[in-house]
Amino acid sequence: MTRRAAGDQSDWTVPQDWDAYTPDEHRLWDLLYARQLEVLPGRAADAFMRGLDRLRLHGAGIPDFQRLNAELAALTGWSIVAVPGLVPDEVFFEHLANRRFPAGRFIRRPDQLDYISEPDIFHDVFGHAPLLADPVFGDYLQAYGAGGLRSMGLNALDNLARLYWYTVEFGLIATPDGLRIYGAGIVSSPAESVFALESASPHRIGFDLERIMRTAYRIDDFQQSYFVIESFDQLFAATAQDFAPIYQRLASAAPLGVIDLLPGDDVRQRGDQSYVTRAVPAV
């Protein structure tokens, strides 16, 4: 569990303290940025690439949240707030419900280029901020935060967390030019950016809210199933309903494993699951 450091606010925010980043840390951002730009054009959703441009997140060192927030405020009214690391669920949801995205202020170490267990500033800002500049996606994320707060009262946090995982973190979107990636966990990883779209291993399944809410996920490696939306409007529309009856049904439904397929699934690609490195932990 994350401990609260002395001096933190009750909302867990801390000053970004942008002046304290070292030249090495700024260079590390630029390196991570350059690696992603090698793989993202033609793979990332247009809205993501547009957000990167609009927010001027190009490799000029770690972004200053004050500058970034001025741009975001004008575009969608979202802002980024700095936090020390993972924050408790209710704090996380409360921020989202108020159009604030909590971002780790620290950057990973050079020996952690490809994997970190807690979200750092590169994952949080490079991965998440561009879509905060999209009005529909921004509304979806706010609705998700409000739904998160309600889910805690209904004992359904696990169900809702899966929705976040399979959309905000690991979502794919269909376009006339083919599938694109938009989930922050994918677009901030060079290897998964390619794997999620091009590997024959994972299943790719059409978005189905209730189905996703039943589905386990892995936190230690590439996903074994990805879910495909048609548009951010579809995502937002799915959150417009009351989840309480869904949670009720799910309470008695059998949970689904990471590779399970159901007769009703809209299977876009049946993966051969040839890439499986470790036993699947139950999440």
Q: Which is nearer to ligand HBI, 89 or 265 (CB)?
A: 89
- 86 counts as binding ligand HBI under rule CB under 6 A: yes
- 78 counts as binding ligand HBI under rule CB under 6 A: no
86 binds, among Fe ion, ligand HBI, none (CB under 5 to 8 A by kind): ligand HBI
**What is d(CA 191, CA 200) in angstroms, rounded to the nearest whole number?**
14
Among 192, 273, 179, 195, CA closest to 229: 179
184 binds, among ligand HBI, Fe ion, none (CB under 5 to 8 A by kind): Fe ion
Binding window for ligand HBI (CB under 6 A); candidates: 19-27, 87-95, 199-207, 212-220: 87-95
Size of the site for ligand HBI (CB under 6 A): 9
Torsion of CA 25, 29, 32, 33, to 10 degrees: -160
Among 80, 101, 105, 76, CA closest to 91: 101
Of all residues in this chain, which one has the CB nearest to Fe ion in the complex?
184
**Strand, helix or coil for residue 225:** strand
Q: Tokens 């790719």 sit at which residue?
A: 204
Among 52, 87, 156, 172, binds ligand HBI (CB under 6 A): 87
**What is d(CA 2, CA 84) in angstroms, rounded to the nearest whole number?**
9
Interface residues with Fe ion (CB under 5 A) are 184
CA atoms lying within 13 Å on the CB side of residue 206: 10
- 101 counts as binding ligand HBI under rule CB under 6 A: no
Torsion of CA 28, 82, 39, 235, to 10 degrees: 170
Binding window for ligand HBI (CB under 6 A); candidates: 86-94, 135-143, 170-178, 189-197: 86-94
Among 81, 83, 131, 212, binds ligand HBI (CB under 6 A): 83
Instruction: Spell out, one character per residue from 164 to 203, where the chain touches ligand HBI: x when CB under 6 A holds, - when not.
Output: x---------------------------------------
